[in-house]
Amino acid sequence: MSKRSKLEKFAQNLDFPNVFEHFGYEDDALYANANKKINFRGSWCSGHFCNNHPLTLELACGRGEYSLGMAALHPGRNFIGVDIKGARIWNGAKRALRLGLTNVAFVRTRIEGLSRFFAGGEVDEIWITFPDPFPRSGKASRRLTSPEFLDRYALVLKHGALLHLKTDDPDLYAFSIESVDTHEAYERLFANESIYESSFEFPEKNIRTYYENLHLAAGKKIHYLRFRFTGGESR
């Protein structure tokens, strides 16, 4: 992708009605365009989606393929894809507009700052789909299922909220199970080392991203973990 095409996508994101951007860590505001500040913290469903439906976040959403698939599958829910890569978000946002999916939006920000833009108890569900596994042990805290990130999610989740992980990385899968099992605020509900070889069914099982299809074509197993926020003490 050329530098020019990325810049064009960044510019178009500013005009998309389903994209909200965070431009600087020192600034707590999200912007609907370069100059219009918005504050939907605690009111995403009523303020942006104009309903009271449950809210699901897809973290590190990339092109938003999972967010789009879930939005089409569940018209009675709201979905927000979160990622720091603006050019990736452009793909999902443009496709959502083309498909007429009004129950999905995108927020460009770092996941570390979720509680800046989402209030306590606001989020009903989180999906983490094929995140960077950060295989080096020195970067374990950057894994999206690390204790540090589980603490951050606790700041925005409703009691009883569900969380889901799909990954092709067996080490991240094992790490995630340990993180959940040792965290006071979560309980593991289901784990499977090869979800497509399992008889366990759920509506979103066969939503597949571009990279997931590549992993499957290469013979990799897709691991799945489901867990619940129980509201215990975070660290």
| Residues taking part in catalysis | 132
Between the alpha carbon of residue 206 and those of residues 70, 137, 185, 201, 202, the distances in Å are 10, 31, 29, 9, 9
Give the separation between CA 179 and CA 191, rounded to whole angstroms. Answer: 13
**Position 111: which residue type?**
I
Question: Residue 207 has which token pair?
Answer: 């939503």
- Residue 180 dihedral angles phi and psi, to the nearest 5°: -70, -45
CA distance 235 to 232: 10
Give Cα separations from 96 to 82, 100, 120 (angstroms): 15, 6, 27
If one counts every other C-beta atom within 10 angstroms of the C-beta of residue 105, the result is 26
Chain-centre distance for alpha carbon 165: 10
